[in-house]
Structure 1
Amino acid sequence: MTQHVTLESALQAIVLAQHDTSPVPLADLIAALRPSKPEQGDLVINSLRSLAWLLNQHADYRRALRHYLMKLVGSRRQLHLYTDAGILSNEGLSTAFSRRLGEKLLPSEYRDDYLRDVFGRVFSRKTDYQWVAAVPDAIWLEVWQALNFAEGEHAQDERNTRLELVEAAQVLSYRISAIGLEPELVRNHPAIEKFESPFLTQNVALRDYLEDYKAQLVDPARSREDDRAVRVLLGQCDDIVARVRKTAAREGVSVSLTYLMVRLSQHLERLRLVLDLLEPEHAHKMPERAVRFFKQLVEAENRKTSVRDLFATNTDLLALQITEHAGRTGEHYIAANRREWLAMAKSAMGAGFIVGFMALIKILTAKLKLAPLIEAFAFSMNYSLGFMLIHMLHFTIATKQPAMTAAKIAASIERQAKAGDQLDGLASLIEAVARTQFIAILGNVLIAIPTALAIALGLKYGLGSQPVSPEKALHLLHDLDPIRSLAIPHAAIAGCCLFLAGLISGYYDNKAIYNRIPARLMQLYWPRRLFGEARWQRVCTYIENNLGALAGNFFFGIMLGSMGTIGFLLGLPLDIRHITFSSANLAYAAVALDFQLSWQTWLTAGVGVALIGLTNLAVSFGLALLVALRSRRIRFVDRGALVRKLAQRFLRAPQHFFIAPREAAPAPLTVSKGDGTA
């Protein structure tokens, strides 16, 4: 009963304010409808039904609210609400970010003569769009029908609104023409220049349609053409946007191109909606479209300063491209048969051999006691150059695999979700990833340890030099203790770095294709003269195929090498633990202490190395899979069925999770030959 009184109070205030066009009475009415929590949808539905009941029962309420709404809308400038709300401006992503951030700190000026500002004042809470959207359209339509607009005379206000819609259609059409001629869009779809562009012709067709429309507003007896020709051309514009997206899937994409396509799609959708509201023959559908438009506008006004929405909207295609490139790289990390499995083992062993030397270089560098920033640079270069060498020699660091294979698994989940097929293909893929990951880790660790042992023993007995002091050895062993040290959190930090390295690799692969870096390098005169045409061509081809991997390894090394220094500068316990380096450090510590370690120490260190590896893999794989799924906008709902399928496979043939069969099983699994590219 209290809710009825509140609604009645708001309606009575509107009755008393007969000629008032202030947004305050409407804001009070919305406040009476607004729930205390946005998720209380049932409460809002009951309130709206109560409002509809009051309007049906009291003609003075109905007449006053209808008159008030028409005057409120008709007396203000409506154009910006139709053309700007919920649509990206032409300022670019960085400028849009700065503006939204500025408006969060200092809101823009309120203009009472602009309907958009009034709309934002009425739906002033940032969560209003949630409860507005939660209410079914049918409930909003009950309130619309209760107002009974056919009952009153609002010809002048209705005519003003239609003229504003006409102007909005013109503005939207001009913007579509301008966006459609942007050089970056033309570059990705050259046919726009060769043939008559629908982005231009839609504007011509729309002007003809709107001229007839305005003439009919003056003379209702005048006949006119409908908007069918305009809609056909808008459909052709949509086709071009779809083609550009397909081209981007092959040739890369940039944030600016994504921003253009998002703006273009938003303008095309909004122009169609404005045409729906203009066309009298759609009058019977107008309330439904008006409700849909109303919900869009509320969300747009509530989220107009959201930085998260801005980036989510404008980086979706780039994120998909980055994970796509990572997914294609991930194919090399999946062994479908015994030959590929053994090739991965050899590749991982090569990496373990090099890591043995990298671990020694880091230990010797730490003994120099360099200044923090110089030490961070030295550590970073050791890691970066070492990882790049591993890649160039076609060796494999095991922990680099999850960030790549996660994108491949996400692609398989997407196919399974779309096709609705069985989970056999996805289970086969995960089984292949598991055994490939197992042999890669085994190859890294089993060679890193003996390599480090050989180096340490050679230096100790051959040169009489001890690279690791007993005190340092105890410190290295303490760093492997999963209970008394921060080994596991530090391994999680390394997992985050591995995940970021995968994203960086995908970004630079996309950048190499989109910016046509190899072709531009081939145009340089001095390298062609210095190295020769054929040799420089091979260099450019290598860069095209490996720029992402080299960049990912380089930045991964910087992250690992500088993490400890960042922690020191910030006063935080930041550091990294990596399974391959940890196993090599265990070997160096054992030699330094003449292998005089208790069985408890051996056990603790062994468990620590294993847990560090598991944490590395789990964190990097989990983050990479999450990003890959979100970039594809899919949600996997068959987790339980997949777990059961994997359990059945493990019980039936557990060896396939560790050792590849001689020949790949005939399953819907597509992999390429594993070359061990890091």
Structure 2
Amino acid sequence: MLIRKKKTPHFFDVVVTDADSIVLTNREEGINFLVSFFKTVRPARNEEYETANNKLQLAMVALEQHKVLKQKLQRAILLLLINTNLNKALTESGVPLAEGFWQELFDRLKHKMLPAIQDPDDFLYVIDRVFYKSDDFKWVEAITQENWIRFFTIIQMPIGVRDKRLQQHVMAAMRILSFQVAQTGLEKEVAAYIPATETGQESPFVKQSFLIHDLQEKLTQDSDNATITHCCALIKDVIQQCAKNIDYIRSQQSTKGASLRQTYTLLILSTRLQRILILNDVLDRDDHFDVGRFVDLFKVLVRNENRKNSIREFVSQGIGYLAYQIAEHKGDKGGKYITSTAKEYRKMVISAMWGGFIICFIAVFKNLLGKLALAPFWQGFMYSVNYSAGFIAIEETGSTLATKQPAFTASAVAASLDTKKQSNRPDLNNLAITVAKVSRSQIASFFGNLVIVFPGTFLLAWLYHLSFNTKIADGDAAYQLLRDQHPWESLSLLYACNTGFFLFVSGIIAGYVQNKIRYGRIGERLVMHPILRLSMAENRRKKLAAYIEKHSGALVGSIALGFFLGMAGIFGKVFGIPFDIRHITISAGNSAIGVYGVGFENIAWQYLLVVFLGVLAIGFVNFLSSFAFAFYVAVKSRGIHLKDYPQFIGILWRYFIHFPSHFILPPRNKANS
């Protein structure tokens, strides 16, 4: 006889049908209730995280239909809010720590091996008990903002706000945050960069502390609702002034630079100000509560508790802060690589043609240097100097190298989605137009480079042959130059990916150096340098300072790129691995030298066509890999979640269908540019 296992009744059914059996009188009973409640929302092991959306919707239907379920849930939450210490959750959890990157990393490593003991009186202990699985934050974040807002609206958050004990908890946390904001706002990383009219006693970072102290006194005196509401409105206004000062400092970072410490400080300030706004909203008695802001805090608390000892997440976050300030400079420069009008497009082509002219000499010199009998290291060094000198010449003459664009244009595109700079959702239609601009600008620079590089290098190879009665490359050596660009007779496309990565890294280096030069005020310090003042006239010092401020990042980036490209092949030979680079313009130059060495009459046109297409493929891979790396870093560092914009691909595709020519040439109508 088979014994059928009895089906466990649903938690909601138990609460509704037998409410008297569920007693909520202490904290532990409240925790158990919440554990059971959210267990009904948590996706099963074999389910996608997105299924939590449907489960929460079913829970909300049950809450609206059954008053007793809603009352029990409210009672459980209120018990925990009143009987736990909220300070750590509200003032520390999810706030970047001020003691520094390395100290926090060491603490996480320590707690990874030996977890810290949790205080049962701490509200974070409750979060850890209710959302006890390490991946709970994933389904919590997978639930849409709209559903969470509706859920907390149904249960009337904040519940029990008039309860004296809850007010005391909230006020205590608010006071701690206000002291921290006042102290941080007076640090030199902030105070030295805000407008002069808002420093010292007039600083909003200090003023908010006095106002919050007044609010505490009025709550202690049990003042009327109108008085409390007015006091909270003043606090909200001054917090918004603080936020404007932070935005002002960030807006100046592209010209004045930023340090990692300043970036951390601003993040800490912003987070604490947001917490104060939430707590102020809880206490203001105006019958309006920003549930969306509360939902953001709720998600942060769950994620932070699940990932509090994650080394990977912390390192990623720390690098992201640094990458953001670098991406700011790259995004600012990226604008000059994006064309909108026909005039700008023509300038881009001409600029790229000059860049192609310089590349012709780089390609010739590189092949001549290869003839020298040097040790591998010194040969790679000579290659690197040749590349670096050429890239510096391109930078100094204002010419354009097509493959250097993606690292900057990717940041410029990502900047339009920047969640740290705008509260409204970005204009995705305008973003599609920006992508079209980037596409045609890139095509213009590729065309300008290649239309000069191949014939120009071929001409130089002929002149060299004419002058010295010998070819730069002949016979097998010349044929090898063609084979090296062939898409399947060589690893050219794989090596093109390496080049894309090096282009990306050199862009990061350029942005980092430029940021440091500006933040360190190197130009001003050079002008005031005591030795230079004795040996150099003031106007010359100013010219030197201006040059260093404007060009240092680009020069260091060019040198870095030159050495990356020059040493890559030597690295592969030394270690006996297939590692090298392929750069579209240099590949085009090498192909021209190879064609001249072999002779058109000795090459099948089909083979020559495949080599030409291989060079174009190398350029495409150069662009795609460099853009992908740069865009990923720019997006991650700005806190952008591309999954929030699933409709963008459709918008971009429709724009391409209706205006395909805009991705190649600028439109005649300026309104569509």
Which residue identity does 2:654 align to in structure 1?
A: A
Match 2:448 to one of 439, 455, 458: 439
Aligned-partner residue type, residue 403 of structure 2: T
385 and 266 in structure 1: CA distance in 2 versus 1, 3 angstrom threshold: same
CA distance in 2, matches of 1:298, 1:422: 33
Q: Which residue of 2 aligns with 1:400?
A: 404
1:544 aligns with 2:549: yes
CA contact (8 A) 1:356 1:451 kept: no
Equivalent residue, structure 2, for 1:132: 140
Counterpart residue number, 2:503: 498
Give, in whole Å, the separation in 1 of the partners of 2:584 and 2:307. Answer: 44
Partner-residue secondary structure (3-state), 2:99: coil
Scaled by the length of structure 1, the TM-score of the pair is: 0.79
Does residue 227 of structure 2 align to residue 231 of structure 1?
A: no
Conserved 8 A contact 1:238-1:265: yes
Alignment of 1:576-655 (within 5 A): 576-590=581-595, 597-599=602-604, 600-624=606-630, 633=640, 636=648, 638-647=651-660
The yes-or-no answer on 1:48 pairing with 2:59 is yes
Q: Distance in 2 between matches of 1:149 and 1:413?
A: 35
Unaligned runs of 5+ in 1: 658-663, 671-678
Which residue is equivalent to 2:123?
Answer: 115
18 and 432 in structure 1: CA distance in 2 versus 1, 3 angstrom threshold: closer
Percent identical across equivalent pairs?
A: 25
Q: Provide the rounded CA distance (Å) in 2 between the counterparts of 1:222 and 1:425.
A: 49
* Residues 1:79 and 1:570: Cα distance change in structure 2 (over 3 Å): farther
2:366 to 346, 359, 369: 359
Q: Which residue of 1 aligns with 2:176?
A: 171
Residue in structure 1 matched with residue 3 of structure 2 by the alignment? none
Q: Are 1:323 and 2:342 counterparts?
A: no
From 302, 306, 316, the equivalent of 1:302 is 306
What amino acid does structure 2 have at the position aligned with 1:172? L
Matches within 5 A, 1:189-588: 189-191=194-196, 192-193=198-199, 196-216=202-222, 226-279=231-284, 281-282=285-286, 285=289, 293-304=297-308, 305=310, 306-307=313-314, 310-311=317-318, 314-315=321-322, 317-330=324-337, 336=343, 340=347, 343-344=350-351, 347-364=354-371, 367-370=373-376, 376-406=380-410, 418=427, 430-431=439-440, 434-455=443-464, 458-459=467-468, 461=469, 470=475, 472-530=477-535, 532-567=537-572, 572-588=577-593
Q: Is the 8 A contact 1:496 1:619 kept in 2?
A: yes
Does structure 1 conserve the Cα–Cα contact (< 8 Å) formed by 2:352 and 2:402? no
* Secondary structure in structure 1 of the residue aligned to 2:302: helix
In the alignment, what sits opposite 1:674? none
Q: CA deviation at 1:554?
A: 1.0
Distance 1:564 1:528, change over 3 A: farther
Residue 268 of structure 1: how far off its partner (Å)? 1.1
Distance 1:428 1:129, change over 3 A: closer
Contact 1:456 1:591 in 2 (8 A): no
Distance of aligned partners of 1:398 and 1:419 in 2 relative to their CA distance in 1, 3 Å threshold: closer
Question: Contact conserved, 1:21 with 1:71, CA < 8 A, in 2?
Answer: no
Work out whether residues 377 and 562 of structure 1, in 8 Å CA contact, stay in contact via their aligned partners in 2. Answer: yes
Matched, 1:180 2:189: no
Q: Distance in 2 between matches of 1:149 and 1:519?
A: 56
Q: Distance in 1 between matches of 2:637 and 2:211?
A: 37
| In 1: Cα distance, 2:201 partner to 2:27 partner | 54
Normalising to structure 2: TM-score of the pair?
Answer: 0.80
Q: 1:530 to 1:475 in 2, by over 3 A?
A: farther
Task: Judge conservation of contact 1:406–1:621 (CA < 8 Å) in 2.
Answer: yes
Say whether the 8 Å CA contact 1:162–1:278 is kept in structure 2. yes
Contact 1:423 1:642 in 2 (8 A): yes
Q: Which of 411-420 and 176-185 deviates more?
A: 411-420
Secondary structure in structure 2 of the residue aligned to 1:442: helix
RMSD across aligned positions (CA): 4.5
CA contact under 8 A between 1:579 and 1:616: conserved in structure 2? yes
Partners of 2:416 and 2:118 in 1: CA distance: 50
Moved more, 525-534 or 382-391: 525-534
Contact 1:333–1:405, Cα closer than 8 Å, also in 2: no
Q: How far apart are residue 486 of structure 1 and its match?
A: 0.8
SS of aligned partner of 2:222: helix
| Paired residues of 1:495 and 1:620 also in contact (CA < 8 A) | yes
Instruction: Report which stretch shifted further, 91-100 or 443-452.
Output: 91-100
**1:421/1:87 CA distance change after superposition, 3 Å:** closer
Query: Helix, strand or coil: the match of 2:258?
Result: coil
Q: Which amino acid aligns with 1:642?
A: Y
8 Å CA contact 1:325, 1:509 repeated in 2: no
Contact 2:410 2:631 in 1 (8 A): yes
Query: 1: distance between equivalents of 2:482 and 2:355?
Result: 24
List runs of 5+ in structure 2 lacking aligned partners. 1-5
Instruction: Name the structure 2 match of 1:39.
Output: 50
Contact 2:182–2:205 under 8 Å retained in 1: yes
